Structure 1
Amino acid sequence: MKKTLPLNTARIQQETFVQTIDLHESIASTNDWALQICQQKEMPHLVLTLEQTAGRGRGNKNWWSSTGCLTFSLILNPEEYSIAPRDYPLLSLVTGLALYETFSKFVPQESLGVKWPNDIYLQNKKVSGLLIETVPLPRVVIGVGVNVNNKIENAPEELHSSAISLAEFTTDEIDMNDLLIHFLSQLEAELKAFPLATNEITRRWEMASILAEEKITIQDGNRLIKGFYNGIDTTGAIKLQTDSGIISISSGEIIDRETV
């Protein structure tokens, strides 16, 4: 018997700014697929899958997903929203804020938080992550993974204490069509406001950040940088108060956090 598809592409296309959609039952990586086809599709184009077998996070880390997880990639022309390559770190924050606002429609906002540069947390556990990738043409691919109706008990053991799904919090199944439509609508609004909203983006991110009053360690290539979280600057870089002063770091991964 053919698997019933829980995602309604006709509704998604009708109610959002997405122009075209690919829906797969199973795919290795929505971002990899989007990067392959990005020159051929009318934008915004959405790549959706019910099962992702080789999802990627930042630094080529694996992104675990299972039945009930929402994984997708969105192909955009950043020039349509006056977004230059130098703005891509801010685009990551904007996408994170769109996810944060979307999830607040389903769970209390005070239970949510954001972690630089690309994670959304629910009750101090990771519920969503994103990965933005670029190609030479004026295209960006925004990959998103959301733990919606999946069970973290089915995840690798090392994720049991650090991840959560929305449904595990609400104790009720969530309509993934509703969630995706909310997100795409919120993201469209964020993108349209982008050129005049850089200060507002960083202000909102800092309000939602889970890193306040924390001493953190960031790995940037071969460098390890330690300091106290000092907010986000207008380029989307994280600011750290170090022994030698305040520095801004535009890329990297937080590998250690300590509450002070």
Structure 2
Amino acid sequence: FVSYVEYHPQIDSTNNRARRIALGEEPLQGHASPRRETLRKALPCLILADHQSAGRGRGTNRWWTGPGSLAASLLMPPVAEWPQLFSPSAATRSHRPQQESAWEGPSAWCCCWSSPDAAGPFGDPGPFGDAGSSGDPGSFGDAVSLGDPSSLGHPGSLGDAGFSGDPGSGGNAGFWGQAGPEFPPGLIGLGTALAVLRTVQPRVPGLAVGLHWPNDVFAAGKKLAGILVEVLANGMVVVGIGVNTNNTVQEAPDELRPHLTTLRDLSGQIHPHEHLLLELLEHCKDVFSLAVPYPDRVASEAHRWCLQKGHLLKVQTTGGVIDGLCEGIGSRGELLLRTSDGLRRIFSGSILR
């Protein structure tokens, strides 16, 4: 479902780049100036980088850059347009991009590189790398939030934009002036986390893999991946994805090592990013194609994979800290927390414990 791909050998942050494009502050690669019609044709847009100098986590947290990790951002249209984007009649897009400099229509990806010397994300030695030739098996920058280790499992439930806590708010106005059905915004991060889970689970058979609300993937009791979702003022959606793939815990700062894991450490193998990313995008398409007409089904799957059920949690919300027993994930992607005052439904927050 991706229409346009940007690759940057180095960038401040893929999410920052997506924000600047969405807000008309910068043009797409290969274009002289920002134009609304050009951007419309390019959505959804995938932004990749080998290295991020200022990768962002939730709030003011930085992201640890582990060589070999996978980081990318999807720039998506407002959720009001997702029924059209993910409808069964939507044009099938190629999974193998061709290196072009101009938009070719809905049946092909358009790819641009910020350096003429870069071979591109599916080449050698492009950003996905080649473990045999470069020794760096495909660095994509940041995957884990730095700062307070207690926040490691929650590097961006809803990003800096956040939500007000109203489960029906956000994203229904339509960037192009279209109205659309209500879509639970909390399912954006959870749905993406489910896509990551479907991608990584076959690569670590026999290990316990699941979700931590609001949108993290854990394996063997430690964080493997995180999602950072930002809904912008114009309704457009930025989905940052960080997966600890071919990096190793031994390269992480000492204070982070007890809290994270990587595919390489768990499996003892290198996982080529070109295959992993293509599978991840396919799973994203499948999840959101289901979530648009049947959001409760995606929420039900997230509930099934939630590893926090039965655990006491402390949740920071805009209204204060709430303690309770986790009962899973509700039909709109909200956290179900049994407190002394009864069942609470939390649509936005960060897990403190």
**How high is the TM-score relative to the length of structure 2?**
0.65
Task: Considering fraction of residues, name the structure with more helix.
Answer: 1
Please state if 1:31 is matched with 2:15. Answer: yes
Query: What whole-Å deviation, never above 9, does each CA across 1:94-119 have from its counterpart, x for those lacking one?
Result: 11111111112322275211000011
CA drift at 1:59? 2.5
Q: Which residue of 1 aligns with 2:278?
A: 181
CA drift at 1:53? 2.1
Distance 1:93 1:109 in 2: 23
**Within 5 A, what are the aligned runs for 1:66-105?**
66-77=66-77, 78-82=79-83, 84=172, 87-105=184-202
**Within 5 A, what are the aligned runs for 1:112-127?**
112-127=209-224
- Gaps of at least 5 residues in structure 2 are 25-33, 84-170, 173-181
Q: Does the 8 A contact of 1:43 with 1:75 survive in 2?
A: yes
Q: Does the 8 A contact of 2:290 with 2:297 survive in 1?
A: no
- Secondary structure, aligned partner of 1:161: helix
Between 1:121-130 and 1:197-206, the stretch displaced more is 197-206
Please state if 1:152 is matched with 2:153. Answer: no
Cα distance change on mapping 1:109 and 1:76 into 2, 3 Å = farther
Query: What whole-Å deviation, never above 9, does each CA across 1:46-96 have from its counterpart, x for those lacking one?
Result: 110011222122233222122101111001112332374752111111111
Q: Which residue of 2 aligns with 1:9?
A: none
CA drift at 1:221? 3.4
**How high is the TM-score relative to the length of structure 1?**
0.87
**Counterpart among 219, 225, 243 of residue 128 in structure 1:** 225
Task: Considering fraction of residues, name the structure with more strand.
Answer: 1
Q: What is the identity, as a one-letter code, of the residue corresponding to 1:31?
A: N
Aligned length: 240
Q: Does the 8 A contact of 1:51 with 1:66 survive in 2?
A: no
Between 1:55-64 and 1:226-235, the stretch displaced more is 55-64
Distance 1:55 1:33 in 2: 11
- Secondary structure, aligned partner of 1:104: helix
Distance 1:166 1:110 in 2: 11
Q: Which residue of 1 aligns with 2:344?
A: 247
- Gaps of at least 5 residues in structure 1 are 1-16
Q: Does the 8 A contact of 2:207 with 2:219 survive in 1?
A: no
Distance 1:226 1:195 in 2: 32
Percent identity between the aligned chains?
30
Q: Which has the larger radius of gyration?
A: 2
Q: What is the identity, as a one-letter code, of the residue corresponding to 1:19?
A: S
Distance 1:60 1:86 in 2: 28
